[in-house]
Amino acid sequence: MSQSSPPIRIASLGMGWVTTHRHLPTILANPSFKLVGLIDRDEKRLQSALKNNQSLKRACVSKLQDVPWINEIDAITLGSSPFSHYALIKEALQLGKHVLTEKPFTMTVPEGEELVALAEDKKLILGIVHNFQFSNGARVLDRDLASGRLGKLTSVIAIQYSNPRRRLPKWYQDLPLGLFYDESPHLLYLLRKYAPSIPELQSVDVVPSTMGNATPACVTARYRAFRSDGVEIPLLLVLMFETPVSEWHLTLHGEECLADLDVFRDIYIRLPNDGLHVTSTVVRTSMLASLQHWGQHFTSGVSHLLGTLRYGNQEVFGRFAKAVKDGVPPTDISAHDALAVLKMQHEIVAGAKGRGLLADNDQ
């Protein structure tokens, strides 16, 4: 990629919280981009987003073809609701624009497959915002894995506790399995990244809501993967949607160490094997966990308070920019990565449908 190449002219579509708090600050901080304008079908949201971006162009439209300055951009980022992704991505690609979209990718697997094929046919970059795999904590985890510090992997657990009172989009209950469909991509792409081989689904269990919601009380999916030595290891996905606290964790169990990635706080903790689990090692585990946890509050915590913690979005947008300039799909966030995670979602949705928890017309 030439260092002297002109910046990518980009617009952001969908002025929700993720766009205004993650996409826009990340774009503005990256010299590879020139932010041209903002697009939303809601005038109030658009005006709110423009308060701190008065010099940008604006378009209050539902279709990209109605944006009067559409020929002045090379790419768009998409932060609208999942129901609109397929139509907007398809239109953007047909207009010759590169696309970086939020998850979930599309509402159905055939839609996702069509968009992957269209991007390849048009020789355009289609990327997905799978950002937590590039967080500060995930980078340390990557280094520990590369060095062999954890020892041979024995299992992986991705777990989410979700308080239904926290800030959530208005439309999530209309999705298949409600909030599951919107948020599961994060833990699924983390599970997919850190599994030693492609995860193979073994079973799905879905417990209906105790509150009468479309979002279940619990979704559990069990997978298996194989280490390079051929040993099978278990992978477990657990999502609890009616809890009093919100926590997301990815935990890798190695023969020598346990590694835990606290996704929300962007904190990574590594604990050594405690052997016989005697008093001294129990105390050691407590001290190491506490010191690492609170120590990282002075890095990630301060950034979070200042609103500068981007949870890996810098890497996502950097990879997207490089892909646009080089013409090579971005590693780990390509359209094929988006499609792979979408298929994992729909395997679980199909499991719920098999238990009678979804109507036949739910995708």
3-state DSSP of 125-150: CEEECCCHHHCHHHHHHHHHHHHCCC
Q: What is the pLDDT of residue 60?
A: 98
pTM equals 0.94
Would residue 157 count as lying in a domain?
yes
Would residue 338 count as lying in a domain?
no
**What is the distance between the alpha carbons of residues 235 and 214, in angstroms, rounded to a whole number?**
26
Q: Which two tokens stand for residue 126?
A: 């289609």
Would residue 180 count as lying in a domain?
yes
Do 115 and 138 fall into the same domain? Answer: no
First to last CA, the chain: 41
Whether residue 189 contacts residue 133, with contact meaning beta carbons closer than 8 Å, is answered with yes
Do 221 and 244 fall into the same domain? Answer: yes
Do 209 and 233 fall into the same domain? Answer: yes
**What is the distance between the alpha carbons of residues 316 and 240, in angstroms, rounded to a whole number?**
28
Would residue 255 count as lying in a domain?
yes
User: Which residues, 6+ apart, have CB-to-CB distance to 185 below 8 Å?
Assistant: 103, 104, 105, 130, 341, 342, 345
Walk along the chain (363 residues) and give the pLDDT tens digit of each residue. 445 789 999 999 999 999 999 999 999 999 999 999 999 999 999 999 998 888 999 999 999 999 999 999 999 999 999 999 999 999 999 999 999 999 999 999 999 999 999 999 999 999 999 999 999 999 999 999 999 999 999 999 999 999 999 989 989 999 999 999 999 999 999 999 999 999 999 999 999 999 999 999 999 999 999 999 999 999 999 999 999 999 999 999 999 999 999 999 999 999 999 999 999 999 999 999 999 999 998 888 777 777 778 999 999 999 999 999 999 999 999 999 999 999 999 999 999 876 665 544 454
Nearest to 77, CA basis, from 150, 151, 15, 133: 15
Nearest to 39, CA basis, from 22, 25, 53, 26: 53
Do 299 and 326 fall into the same domain? Answer: no
Q: What is the pLDDT of residue 301?
A: 73
Q: What is the pLDDT of residue 353?
A: 77
Q: Specify the CATH number for the domain of residue 17.
A: 3.40.50.720
Do 109 and 138 fall into the same domain? Answer: no
Give the total residue count for the chain.
Answer: 363
Q: What is the pLDDT of residue 303?
A: 79
Do 163 and 265 fall into the same domain? Answer: yes
Whether residue 49 contacts residue 25, with contact meaning beta carbons closer than 8 Å, is answered with no
Do 115 and 238 fall into the same domain? Answer: no
User: Which residues, 6+ apart, have CB-to-CB distance to 26 below 8 Å?
Assistant: 310, 313, 314, 316, 317
Would residue 199 count as lying in a domain?
yes
Domain interval for residue 226: 132-306
Do 91 and 190 fall into the same domain? Answer: no
Would residue 76 count as lying in a domain?
yes
Nearest to 84, CA basis, from 69, 60, 58, 102: 102
Q: What is the pLDDT of residue 362?
A: 52
Do 76 and 47 fall into the same domain? Answer: yes
CA separation, residue 259 to residues 11, 155, 250 (Å): 38, 11, 8
- The structural domain count of the chain equals 2
Query: What's the distance, CA 153 to chain centroid?
Result: 23
Would residue 357 count as lying in a domain?
no
Would residue 339 count as lying in a domain?
no
**What is the distance between the alpha carbons of residues 130 and 60, in angstroms, rounded to a whole number?**
27
How many Cα atoms are found within 13 Å in the side-chain-facing hemisphere of 281? 9
Nearest to 263, CA basis, from 198, 193, 320: 193
Q: What is the pLDDT of residue 359?
A: 47
Q: What is the pLDDT of residue 212?
A: 93
Q: Specify the CATH number for the domain of residue 178.
A: 3.30.360.10
Residue that is written with structure tokens 């047909």 in the block? 94
Q: Write the secondary structure of the chain as one string of H (helix), E (strand) and C (coil).
A: CCCCCCCEEEEEECCCHHHHHHHHHHHHCCCCEEEEEEECCCHHHHHHHHCCCCCCEEECCCCHHHCCCHHHCCEEEECCCHHHHHHHHHHHHHCCCEEEECCCCCCCHHHHHHHHHHHHHHCCCEEECCCHHHCHHHHHHHHHHHHCCCCCEEEEEEEEECCCCCCCCCCHHHCCCCHHHHHHHHHHHHHHHHCCCCCEEEEEEEECCCCCCCCCCEEEEEEEEECCCCCEEEEEEEEECCCCCCEEEEEEEECCEEEEEECCCCEEEEEECCCCCCHHHHHHHHHHHHHHHHHHHHHHHHHHHHCCCCCCHHHHHHHHHHHHHHCCCCCCCEHHHHHHHHHHHHHHHHHHHHCCCCCCCCC
Do 91 and 219 fall into the same domain? Answer: no
Do 194 and 230 fall into the same domain? Answer: yes
Do 286 and 177 fall into the same domain? Answer: yes
